[in-house]
Amino acid sequence: MPDTIAVIVNGETREVTPDATLEDLLDLLELDSRAVVVELNRDIVRRPALGETRLADGDKVELVHFVGGG
Protein backbone atom coordinates (compact mmCIF):
# COMPACT_ATOMS: atom_id res chain seq x y z
CA MET A 1 0.00 0.00 0.00
CA PRO A 2 1.39 3.44 -0.87
CA ASP A 3 2.19 6.00 1.83
CA THR A 4 -0.11 8.59 0.25
CA ILE A 5 -2.77 8.93 -2.41
CA ALA A 6 -3.48 11.96 -4.58
CA VAL A 7 -6.86 13.68 -4.53
CA ILE A 8 -7.89 16.83 -6.36
CA VAL A 9 -9.26 19.53 -4.04
CA ASN A 10 -10.78 22.54 -5.79
CA GLY A 11 -8.49 21.89 -8.75
CA GLU A 12 -5.27 21.38 -6.77
CA THR A 13 -3.59 18.04 -6.09
CA ARG A 14 -3.28 17.14 -2.41
CA GLU A 15 -1.59 14.12 -0.87
CA VAL A 16 -3.45 12.26 1.91
CA THR A 17 -3.03 8.94 3.67
CA PRO A 18 -4.74 5.98 2.00
CA ASP A 19 -7.22 5.61 4.88
CA ALA A 20 -8.20 9.31 4.97
CA THR A 21 -11.83 10.33 5.19
CA LEU A 22 -13.42 13.56 4.05
CA GLU A 23 -13.44 14.63 7.70
CA ASP A 24 -9.68 14.01 7.86
CA LEU A 25 -9.22 16.15 4.75
CA LEU A 26 -11.19 19.01 6.30
CA ASP A 27 -9.07 18.74 9.45
CA LEU A 28 -5.90 18.81 7.34
CA LEU A 29 -7.13 21.94 5.60
CA GLU A 30 -8.22 23.44 8.94
CA LEU A 31 -11.82 23.81 7.79
CA ASP A 32 -14.92 23.53 9.95
CA SER A 33 -17.37 21.01 8.49
CA ARG A 34 -20.23 23.29 9.59
CA ALA A 35 -18.98 26.05 7.28
CA VAL A 36 -18.48 24.13 4.03
CA VAL A 37 -20.39 22.08 1.51
CA VAL A 38 -18.44 19.02 0.38
CA GLU A 39 -18.82 17.50 -3.06
CA LEU A 40 -17.05 14.22 -3.86
CA ASN A 41 -16.90 13.22 -7.51
CA ARG A 42 -19.87 15.51 -8.26
CA ASP A 43 -22.07 14.18 -5.41
CA ILE A 44 -22.78 16.26 -2.31
CA VAL A 45 -21.79 14.46 0.89
CA ARG A 46 -23.90 15.27 3.94
CA ARG A 47 -22.08 16.28 7.12
CA PRO A 48 -22.93 13.07 9.10
CA ALA A 49 -21.21 10.97 6.39
CA LEU A 50 -17.94 12.94 6.26
CA GLY A 51 -16.22 10.72 8.85
CA GLU A 52 -17.35 7.54 7.09
CA THR A 53 -16.53 8.51 3.50
CA ARG A 54 -13.03 7.32 2.59
CA LEU A 55 -11.04 8.99 -0.15
CA ALA A 56 -9.57 7.05 -3.07
CA ASP A 57 -6.68 7.91 -5.36
CA GLY A 58 -7.85 10.35 -8.02
CA ASP A 59 -11.03 11.46 -6.23
CA LYS A 60 -12.19 14.99 -7.00
CA VAL A 61 -13.33 17.05 -4.03
CA GLU A 62 -14.94 20.47 -4.29
CA LEU A 63 -15.31 22.57 -1.16
CA VAL A 64 -17.59 25.59 -1.00
CA HIS A 65 -17.08 27.87 2.02
CA PHE A 66 -19.86 29.83 3.65
CA VAL A 67 -18.88 33.39 4.47
CA GLY A 68 -20.87 35.44 6.94
CA GLY A 69 -21.33 39.12 6.63
CA GLY A 70 -23.66 41.94 7.20
Tens digit of pLDDT at every position of the chain (70 positions): 679 999 999 999 999 999 999 999 999 999 999 999 999 999 999 999 999 999 999 999 999 987 777 6
DSSP character for 20? -
Residue 64: in which H helix or E strand, if any?
strand 60-65
* 45, 22 Cβ separation under 8 angstroms: yes
Predicted confidence at residue 16, as pLDDT, reads 97
Predicted confidence at residue 5, as pLDDT, reads 97
* 31, 65 Cβ separation under 8 angstroms: yes
What is the reported pTM? 0.90
CATH entry 2.60.40.3140 includes domain 5-65 = no
